[in-house]
A and B are shown apart, each in its own frame.
Chain A
């Protein structure tokens, strides 16, 4: 009800005024009386104005009143602005909205930027392939680089390469990440006090360094170039020229793991250190003594391809693999028979074998060699068996197999074994006539042999004595890799000029005066020769992303002695000039040379006949005369002790530690432990029980070289008393991804090792308090736990048999497990046309894990980091499940790659509330990421648990959002969506490759051919265990394998009808039933 407010106010105001007037009047009278008595008052009269002085009555009234005239008046509405605050805000926001819509053109679709001058061979959107060579390790495998719009995005093997035959290992697959690593060195840097860094231009760096090199040479000081294996003939020539320009220059080369003990043994046995190439594909029996030839030793690609030639259940005969080892290695777990003894007892075992073979069985003529026999007298196999508690049955099988397969078997000794063991093994192979398996038509080629220990001792002494003027780290990291008791970093302090050529920061760049960034393998030219029958070429597919130069180019500029000698084609011209006189000398005209050169670049490989392989130091030297006296003379026989034995092994993923900043490789689970992001001390179950250790407990391991605290991991299958540690971890100077990951066991390596640099007996291990959590992608449960024991057999996830059982009855698998015909509640959809399917042959799968990396690269899988892997949130679409059976001390291991099975009756498809996952008419379970709302019901329903959910935007979360850097966005495969937070993802059977084949088929007006599609995992599998294709193509290999009598599907009793078929693993043992672990 509107009241007459104004009137009320006026009434109130009037009342106030009246009251104050009263007060005034009262005051005035008081004042007057006060003034009256003022004459009697001695206080001075204070007055502020004339009115006060004269006692103005009006003024007196005012004085008493608090509020002056008009102070209590209400504001007049009509005098106010018509524009209220509310209206102002409304107008402001409205105009802002209008302005905003007016600013942007919501219909704008961006711009299209075509080439200005398009190269003829480029088809926008289609990839271009180049052949090149991988320089991730010393084996120089051939690779094919897939580029799109100039950016390399995928690496696969080069089928023309005679050794790697179209396959490449995990390091090669993940190498694109090294190219695009935002933490790569981008500019040359000078570090005058080895602490601060200033960027300097190349010309300035070259000038300064050339000056110092010249000074060092003229004053007689040594210039040491320290490198990893040099297997490039042109680089060798360039280094020779460098040595001519700087006469005091010396080249040293090293590797973290090398064949030094094997070579020295070979030299003693045969008179030269040239190791032969063993044709394992012709071997019927292989005995691996602490030799992880399928995992980490030698060229694992070559070894795996050769080994698996005789593992085809449908043609040929299986070979038989025996493994005798202390560590649980990949090879050992794939072996048909595995004998577990401590590593330092292996030589005793070999000697016991020798006395059996030569002495008892009288094989070979060595039986008459008296000094030899007398040396072997104290050994005996029966004694050995009872001393170490191993199975006599197995040993008997081994001896009889070796006896029956003389000349078609081979004994491989691991690189970590000492020289004396290698000599014994050489004798064993000679006695059995296995040298027949040595390749006669090709041999290894070494450009520059690795430096011997004497060379290193001399260098370190010179460094400490101030006789070294310059040290050049030639893309190597000796400060991290060399044995700790060289005290290399200390010795460097006495060297005035330390230059590091490196792609990334490492422990050696941290102690250098100059750090020069070098180009990655995708940006470099090169030529390589590791075998006598061919050369391989490396070509850059992309101009250097940053201000980097090739390390060979840098050497050429320094040789020329002038910074202006550099131009961007300098090394390419150098290689061409070298080839004109050596490899392609026969192409004696420019046109012929150019054609041959381009053909070489196209193929990646140039085959030569052995005779014409020039530019090498050591050529063919097949073992001619074996010297049995070498065996007699070898004194340093390894005997088993009672303390711990420490075995240092390579890790397959990080090289010697140089790839520590590659998150994909760090997150690739180790084959047996399935651990990620760390290394650990693998110990046996018995040791753990005796010392009351749990996995992740910290222990202190002490060797003659030093001590190290690191966590343990209980590894079933390790021999009692053996500790196995992987090297290459514990980088301190590294990018954000690899820094501080793992423990640096290089501190346990001594240069004066009694046995070998990687094998130490007399090692102590003691429990110290604390834990460092080892994160693994599988549960750590006790394999004897009743609920879970042999679950893979009870649920028929793993179905195995023996080879003899299969030969006797090819249908044994179906009979054993039966073809349960449960009634299905779903109506079967009949797929006419293409039906995609996959077969994984578990006989060929060694569990190496290269498929996982290839899938990561192809499908833009993010790295999630250790803490997320702990919560089972690793994002890899394919995983290798590893199952143990038998006893924890001596388990049987089964590997099974598990990926989305693309079930015909997929339980995930029914439950998606938004129909984000559906089944296509050609049998693919597809995923529409833009529809997914993240309910995760599909993952809940998946019986195989192959669906991966993006709990975070892992690219943003891991490692300070390093994956969001611009250079990583160049790495992404543009045909595959990059998923963000909140969507579910899983294997798509490389749908992008299927659609590419479909596009080609429509272009050629033909049907889609299943065999043309190769999934990323299939391409990467070293042993070709994965086959993908069209199940409905009656004449395809896939159809044959899917319907073979060894094929089974996992969890087939739930009738989801998976489209991935596994071929049961057959162990080639004499027992016809594969029940327990073989001991």
Chain B
């Protein structure tokens, strides 16, 4: 038993050329919506809007300005 639905057609006993085609208007409508959606999602930054309230403040590292550094290379320069 083969169910018929709108977008495909079974051509088992019929000629290939004379099938029920998909409604062209519907196709272009769907394709256009898909393209629009893709474009919208790639342009619009949805991720940034999510509020991240549980995120902890990262630990700030700052060296001490009064520390005196040391040259530790005790190497032999050959």
A–B proximity contact (CB within 8 A) = yes
A residues near B (Cβ < 8 Å) are 2, 5, 77, 80-84, 87, 91, 95, 98-99, 102-103, 119, 121, 128-131, 144, 146-147, 149-151, 159, 523, 539-543, 545-546, 569, 572, 598, 601-604, 966-967, 970, 997, 1000, 1004, 1006-1007, 1009, 1011-1012
Interface residues of B in 4-57 (CB under 8 A from A): 4-7, 23, 26, 30, 34, 37-38, 41-42, 56
Nearest CB on B from A474, distance (A): 23
Nearest CB to that of B22 among chain A residues?
A: A82
Cβ 8 A contact of A102, one of B5, B38, B58, B64? B38
Known A1004-B77, A1006-B77; contact A87-B71, beta-carbon cutoff 8 A: no
**Would you call A970 and B61 a contact (CB within 8 A)?**
yes
**Would you call B61 and A542 a contact (CB within 8 A)?**
yes
Cα A395 to Cα B34 in complex, Å, equals 97
Cα A476 to Cα B61 in complex, Å, equals 27
Residues of B within 8 A of A2 (CB): 1-2
Cβ 8 A contact of A129, one of B7, B42, B71, B78? B71
Known A87-B7, A102-B42, A131-B70; contact A150-B63, beta-carbon cutoff 8 A: yes
Cα A305 to Cα B69 in complex, Å, equals 27
**Would you call B5 and A144 a contact (CB within 8 A)?**
no
**Would you call B64 and A539 a contact (CB within 8 A)?**
yes
Residues of A within 8 A of B42 (CB): 102-103
Known A84-B5, A98-B34, A99-B38; contact A601-B63, beta-carbon cutoff 8 A: no
Nearest CB to that of B78 among chain A residues?
A: A1006
Nearest CB to that of B58 among chain A residues?
A: A966
Cβ 8 A contact of B63, one of A147, A1007, A1012? A147
Nearest CB on B from A621, distance (A): 35
**Would you call A545 and B68 a contact (CB within 8 A)?**
no
**Would you call A539 and B61 a contact (CB within 8 A)?**
no
**Would you call B67 and A541 a contact (CB within 8 A)?**
yes
* Chain B interface residue bracket vs A: 35 or more
Nearest CB to that of A94 among chain B residues?
A: B34
Nearest CB to that of A523 among chain B residues?
A: B64
Nearest CB to that of A186 among chain B residues?
A: B59
Nearest CB to that of A100 among chain B residues?
A: B41
**Would you call A1000 and B6 a contact (CB within 8 A)?**
no
Cα A80 to Cα B41 in complex, Å, equals 32
Cβ 8 A contact of A966, one of B26, B34, B56, B77? B56
Residues of B within 8 A of A91 (CB): 30
Residues of A within 8 A of B68 (CB): 130, 539, 598, 601-602
**Would you call A82 and B61 a contact (CB within 8 A)?**
no
Residues of B within 8 A of A84 (CB): 3, 5-7
Cα A130 to Cα B70 in complex, Å, equals 5
Nearest CB to that of A151 among chain B residues?
A: B61
Cβ 8 A contact of A144, one of B3, B62, B72? B72
**Would you call B70 and A1012 a contact (CB within 8 A)?**
no
Cα A837 to Cα B13 in complex, Å, equals 82
Nearest CB to that of A1012 among chain B residues?
A: B75
| Nearest 4 Cβ contacts at the A-B interface | A82-B6, A601-B68, A129-B72, A150-B63
Cα A997 to Cα B77 in complex, Å, equals 11
Residues of B within 8 A of A98 (CB): 34, 38
Cα A82 to Cα B58 in complex, Å, equals 54
Nearest CB on A from B38, distance (A): 5
Known A102-B42, A1006-B78, A1011-B76; contact A130-B67, beta-carbon cutoff 8 A: yes
Cα A70 to Cα B69 in complex, Å, equals 94
Residues of B within 8 A of A970 (CB): 59, 61
Nearest CB to that of A166 among chain B residues?
A: B74
Cα A151 to Cα B62 in complex, Å, equals 8
Cβ 8 A contact of B70, one of A95, A546, A602, A1000? A602
Known A82-B6, A144-B70; contact A540-B64, beta-carbon cutoff 8 A: yes
Q: List 22 A-B contacts (CB under 8 A).
A: A5-B1, A77-B3, A77-B4, A80-B5, A83-B7, A99-B37, A102-B42, A103-B42, A130-B70, A149-B61, A542-B64, A543-B60, A543-B61, A545-B60, A602-B69, A603-B70, A966-B58, A966-B59, A970-B59, A1004-B77, A1006-B77, A1012-B76
**Would you call B62 and A150 a contact (CB within 8 A)?**
yes
Nearest CB on B from A94, distance (A): 9
Cα A103 to Cα B42 in complex, Å, equals 5
Residues of A within 8 A of B61 (CB): 149-151, 542-543, 545, 970
Cα A151 to Cα B61 in complex, Å, equals 7
Nearest CB on A from B31, distance (A): 11
Cα A537 to Cα B31 in complex, Å, equals 74
**Would you call B37 and A82 a contact (CB within 8 A)?**
no
Nearest CB to that of A1014 among chain B residues?
A: B74
Given contacts A539-B64, A542-B61, A1007-B78, 18 further A-B contacts (CB under 8 A): A5-B1, A77-B4, A83-B6, A84-B3, A84-B6, A121-B69, A129-B69, A144-B70, A159-B74, A523-B64, A539-B67, A541-B64, A542-B64, A543-B60, A543-B63, A545-B60, A572-B66, A1000-B75
Cα A244 to Cα B15 in complex, Å, equals 110
Cα A1011 to Cα B78 in complex, Å, equals 11
Nearest CB to that of A128 among chain B residues?
A: B69
**Would you call A1009 and B67 a contact (CB within 8 A)?**
no
**Would you call B41 and A102 a contact (CB within 8 A)?**
yes
Cα A997 to Cα B78 in complex, Å, equals 13
Residues of B within 8 A of A102 (CB): 38, 41-42
**Residue picked from B2, B34, B41, B68, most chain A C-beta under 10 Å:** B68
Residues of A within 8 A of B75 (CB): 997, 1000, 1009, 1012
Cα A91 to Cα B77 in complex, Å, equals 69
Residues of A within 8 A of B73 (CB): 1000
Nearest CB on A from B58, distance (A): 7
**Would you call B59 and A81 a contact (CB within 8 A)?**
no
Nearest CB on B from A598, distance (A): 5
**Would you call B37 and A95 a contact (CB within 8 A)?**
yes
Known A541-B64, A967-B59, A1011-B76; contact A129-B38, beta-carbon cutoff 8 A: no
Residues of B within 8 A of A147 (CB): 63
Residues of B within 8 A of A1000 (CB): 73, 75
Nearest CB to that of B39 among chain A residues?
A: A102
Residues of B within 8 A of A144 (CB): 70, 72
Cα A569 to Cα B76 in complex, Å, equals 39
Cα A84 to Cα B6 in complex, Å, equals 8
**Would you call A543 and B5 a contact (CB within 8 A)?**
no
**Would you call B34 and A95 a contact (CB within 8 A)?**
yes
Nearest CB on B from A23, distance (A): 32
**Would you call B69 and A103 a contact (CB within 8 A)?**
no
Residues of B within 8 A of A572 (CB): 66
Cβ 8 A contact of A543, one of B30, B34, B58, B64? B64
Nearest CB on A from B4, distance (A): 6
Cα A598 to Cα B65 in complex, Å, equals 13
Nearest CB to that of B6 among chain A residues?
A: A82
**Would you call A542 and B63 a contact (CB within 8 A)?**
yes
Cα A443 to Cα B6 in complex, Å, equals 101
Nearest CB on A from B18, distance (A): 18
Cα A997 to Cα B75 in complex, Å, equals 9
Nearest CB on B from A1001, distance (A): 8
Residues of B within 8 A of A546 (CB): 59
Residues of A within 8 A of B59 (CB): 545-546, 966-967, 970
Nearest CB on A from B77, distance (A): 6
Residues of A within 8 A of B69 (CB): 121, 128-130, 602
**Residue picked from B3, B62, B67, B75, most chain A C-beta under 10 Å:** B67
Nearest CB on A from B1, distance (A): 7
Cα A95 to Cα B70 in complex, Å, equals 60
Residues of A within 8 A of B70 (CB): 129-131, 144, 602-604
Nearest CB on B from A1, distance (A): 10
Nearest CB to that of B8 among chain A residues?
A: A87
